[in-house]
Amino acid sequence: MFHYIARRMVQMLPVLIGITLVAFILMNLVPGTAISMMMDPRAAPLPADVEARLLEHYGFTDPLPIRYLKFLGNALRGDLGFSFRFNQLVSIIVLERLPPTMLLAFTSGTLAVLLGVFLGILAALHRGRILDSFSMVFGLAGASMPVFWFGILLMFLFSVRLGWLPASGWGSGSVSHLILPTLALGYGFAAIIARVTRSSMLEVLSMDYIVTARSKGLSERMVVYKHALKNALIPVITVIGGQVGRLLSGAVLTETVFSWPGLGRLLVDSIQHRDLPTVQGSLIFVAFVFVLVNLVTDLTYAFLDPRVRFE
């Protein structure tokens, strides 16, 4: 088991290098220099010597391969570089965005899992009846509603109309600020989980061993929660694993609508500002989380299915 984890961790290294290399190449292929992004568009173009000095100051004069190798060497020593946009260490910038990002990912992820699994089971147990239809319509709506639109609806209802909740900002993590973004982000995710849980549950419920369990006189509760659910959860875990990484890095739309100071917004803004060091730094972090979540997902399989063994 520990061997397995260690091996997966080592495998992570080429993934991280690959990601930063691709990002580095792409960012340098995109026309547009960092300097043009630093200036106010209205200001007269910079005198050539000032611009040359800026380029040198921020290390843009080295040839590309050298720049990448420098970045890699520094990153291995824990230095993610210096952002010319913020005039600050990238590690500080990324760390500042972590608490809001993790918090929102956690609450919306938890909401989605609890709600999604619950509705999925409900639908499967009442297959073809009204509760099933209700759950699935709920799921369909969640999967098809764009998150920014749903977010704005929530905002106008709960903030503007009713005045119950703040419309935006993260309020240093206060519950009132959390509710709307959690609902907006968690709903779509819950819908996906509900659909997977339902179909997986239905499949498992028609298995022979469930019939056996029932015929030996176990209570329905025991059959469903002890025997069916555990096996039905494996595909659900796969879906959750795939989505959690996205919650941490890709909640850009939710973060934009609710002015949530998270990592997704930082990443997108930095791309727009050609702030390569910050893009690289955020990407390394995001990639790290993705790989880690995948690992945890795989380990969870073993917990749910004793037949799974890690070599």
Partner 1 sequence: MYTYKRGCLLIMLVFGLILLTGCGGPDLDFEQDPNDVGGGVFVRDSAYGDPENLDPIVRGRMGAMGVTTNLFDGLVGHEPETAEIRPAIATSWDIHDDGTRYVFHLRDDAIFHNGRPITADDFVYSFHRLADPANASPLSHYLTGVVGKREFEVGDAETMEGIRALDDHTLQIQLEAPDSTFLSNLAFPAAGVVPEEAVEALGDDFGHRPIGSGPFVFDEWVKDDYVNLQAFDDYYQGRPEIDGVKFRVIQEATTKEAEFLSGNLDAFIAPASIYRKYRDDPDHQMIEVAEFFTRHIGFHCQKEPFDDPRVRQAFNHAIDTETIIDVVLGGKGVPAIGYLPSSSFAFDPDLKGYPYDPERAETLLAESGYEDGIEVPIMTSEHPEWGLPIVEAIMPYLNAVGITLKPETMDTGVLYDRLRSGDYVSYIYSTGGDAHPVNYLWRFHSELADTTNRYSDPAVDDLLERAKGATDDDEMIALVQEAEATIARDAPIWFFHYNKAVTMHADRVDGLQAVPIDMFLQDLTKLSIDVGPR
Q: Which helix or strand (DSSP H or E) is residue 131 part of?
A: helix 130-144
> Rounded distance, CA 144 to CA 142, Å?
6
Within 165-204, the residues that bind partner 1 by CB under 8 A are 165-176, 178
First-to-final CA distance of the chain:
7
**Which string of x and - marks every residue 124-153 that binds partner 1 (by CB under 8 A)?**
----------------------------x-
The β-bridge partners of 83 are 88
The number of beta carbons lying within 10 Å of the beta carbon of residue 35 is 18
- Piece of 68-76, 118-126, 159-167, 239-247 that binds partner 1 (CB under 8 A): 159-167
Out of 266, 276, 279, 287, the only residue in the binding site for partner 1 (CB under 8 A) is 266
According to the binding rule CB under 8 A, does residue 209 interact with partner 1?
Answer: no
SS3 206: coil
Among residues 90, 293, 117, the alpha carbon closest in space to that of 197 is found at 117
Out of 195, 198, 227, 274, the only residue in the binding site for partner 1 (CB under 8 A) is 274
Q: Which is nearer to partner 1, 33 or 206 (CB)?
A: 33
> Rounded distance, CA 109 to CA 240, Å?
8
Q: How far is the CB of 175 from partner 1 (least distance, A)?
A: 6
Out of 123, 223, 265, 284, the only residue in the binding site for partner 1 (CB under 8 A) is 265
Cα 271 to chain centroid distance, Å, stands at 18
> Rounded distance, CA 205 to CA 132, Å?
15
Out of 10, 29, 30, 130, the only residue in the binding site for partner 1 (CB under 8 A) is 30
Q: Which is nearer to partner 1, 20 or 107 (CB)?
A: 107
Within 35-94, the residues that bind partner 1 by CB under 8 A are 35-47, 49-50, 53-54, 56-58, 85-89, 93
Number of residues interacting with partner 1: please give it, by CB under 8 A. 72
Q: How far is the CB of 95 from partner 1 (least distance, A)?
A: 10
Give the CA angle between residues 300, 304, 305 to the nearest 5°.
110
Among residues 257, 32, 41, the alpha carbon closest in space to that of 149 is found at 257
Q: Which is nearer to partner 1, 41 or 78 (CB)?
A: 41
Q: How many residues does the chain have?
A: 311
- Side chain identity at residue 46, one-letter code: L
Q: Which is nearer to partner 1, 199 or 259 (CB)?
A: 259
- Piece of 13-21, 109-117, 130-138, 287-295 that binds partner 1 (CB under 8 A): 109-117
